[in-house]
């Protein structure tokens, strides 16, 4: 099972999370590409760390929304979103190649991630941009989402993820961050959800419904309080349950 986290989200003198520690725990890193977070130096540091620690680099593309951290949905034309995704891919891939690494997959961020679960027009723009850049580039996203379906139809290797520290709705989507209880903070609860997802392929929704989730990767967020300790506990819990941590890309 792959273990991924959103990293490289610092900007200038503002620091987000403890990337140095998180890179030693995860097998894949979703690196911000400068639109919702991150900057050239942060991307460079992230790609160097990933290369040194044999962690796979994913392009964490998002809306052009630094002030809102990419968590505000934007209405964009096909060409606007196509261009923005293409720009972010090229930027991170160029930095990665300069230090011996590479962009091994794409995972959208925040509001874009959630919107292209159901919005076919924006989903098509994201997939078209990825396909134009590299027709064989793997993608990572929510099972059953519109954009993963389109990516698969376009011939991209598709991988599905589940979230160990987020609450689920009965339809298999995530509880919106605007609602109470959307993010799980109890380490024991998070570890238990991770192990259940990895060993049984299921998660318990907020209303008690048991949902089948076949995931290739588990995501843990690096921007929550105690994220490093939580991630370390998740990895240890998975390994104790006999789950080998290995990158999907």
User: 13-17, 154-158, 225-229: which has the highest mean pLDDT?
Assistant: 154-158
> pLDDT digits over 168-197, tens only?
999 999 999 889 999 999 999 999 999 999
> pLDDT digits over 4-44, tens only?
999 999 999 999 999 999 999 999 999 999 999 999 999 99
Give me 10's structure tokens.
Answer: 């610092």
145: CB partners within 8 A, 6+ apart: 116, 117, 118, 123
Q: Is it the case that residue 72 has pLDDT exceeding 90? A: yes
**Residues 14, 229 contacting (CB under 8 angstroms):** no
Please report the pLDDT score of residue 80 as a whole number: 98
**Residues 99, 44 contacting (CB under 8 angstroms):** yes
Among 3-7, 78-82, 221-225, 244-248, the minimum mean pLDDT is found in 221-225
What is the secondary structure of 110-133 as a DSSP string? HHHHHHHHH-HHHHHHHHHHHHHH
User: Using CA atoms, how far apart are residues 231 and 95, in angstroms rounded to an integer?
Assistant: 27
- What is the band of 221 on the pLDDT scale with cuts at 50, 70, 90? confident
Q: Are strands 158-163 and 217-219 parallel, antiparallel or unpaired?
A: parallel
Beta bridge partners, 29, equal: 5, 57
Please report the pLDDT score of residue 226 as a whole number: 86
56: CB partners within 8 A, 6+ apart: 27, 28, 29, 50, 104, 105, 247, 248, 249
* Residue among 137, 133, 136, 158 nearest 147 (CA): 158
What is the secondary structure of 138-184 as a DSSP string? -EEE-TT-HHHHHHHHTT--EEEEEESSB-B-TTSSBPPTTSTTSB-
Average pLDDT, whole number, for the chain? Answer: 96
Q: Is it the case that residue 223 has pLDDT exceeding 80? A: no
> pLDDT digits over 189-210, tens only?
999 999 999 999 999 999 999 9
For the chain, give the longest Cα–Cα distance.
Answer: 48
> pLDDT digits over 123-151, tens only?
999 999 999 999 999 999 999 999 999 99
Mean pLDDT over 49-54 rounds to 98
User: Using CA atoms, how far apart are residues 187 and 176, in angstroms rounded to an integer?
Assistant: 20
Mean pLDDT over 227-241 rounds to 96
Q: Could you tell me the end-to-end alpha-carbon distance of the chain, in angstroms, rounded to an integer?
A: 11
- What is the band of 222 on the pLDDT scale with cuts at 50, 70, 90? confident
């Amino acid at each position: 099972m792959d273990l991924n986290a959103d990293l490289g989200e610092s900007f200038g003198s503002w620091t987000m999370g403890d990337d140095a520690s998180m890179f030693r725990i995860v097998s894949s890193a979703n690196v911000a590409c400068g639109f919702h977070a991150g900057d050239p130096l942060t991307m460079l540091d992230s790609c160097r760390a990933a290369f040194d620690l044999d962690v796979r680099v994913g392009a964490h593309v998002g809306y052009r929304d630094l002030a809102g951290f990419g968590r505000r949905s934007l209405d964009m034309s096909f060409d606007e979103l196509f261009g923005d995704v293409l720009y972010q891919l090229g930027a991170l891939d160029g930095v990665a190649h300069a230090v011996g690494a590479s962009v091994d997959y794409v995972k959208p961020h925040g509001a874009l991630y959630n919107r292209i679960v159901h919005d076919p027009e924006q989903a098509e723009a994201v997939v078209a941009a990825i396909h134009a850049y590299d027709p064989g580039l793997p993608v990572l996203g929510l099972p059953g989402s519109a954009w993963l379906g389109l990516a698969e139809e376009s011939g991209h290797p598709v991988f599905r993820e589940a979230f160990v520290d987020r609450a689920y709705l009965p339809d298999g989507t995530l509880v919106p961050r605007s609602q109470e209880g959307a993010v799980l903070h109890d380490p024991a609860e998070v570890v238990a959800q991770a192990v259940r997802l990895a060993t049984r392929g299921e998660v318990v929704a907020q209303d008690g419904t048991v949902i089948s989730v076949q995931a290739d990767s588990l995501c843990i967020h690096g921007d929550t309080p105690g994220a490093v300790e939580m991630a370390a506990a998740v990895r240890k819990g998975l390994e104790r349950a006999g789950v080998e941590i290995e990158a999907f890309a």
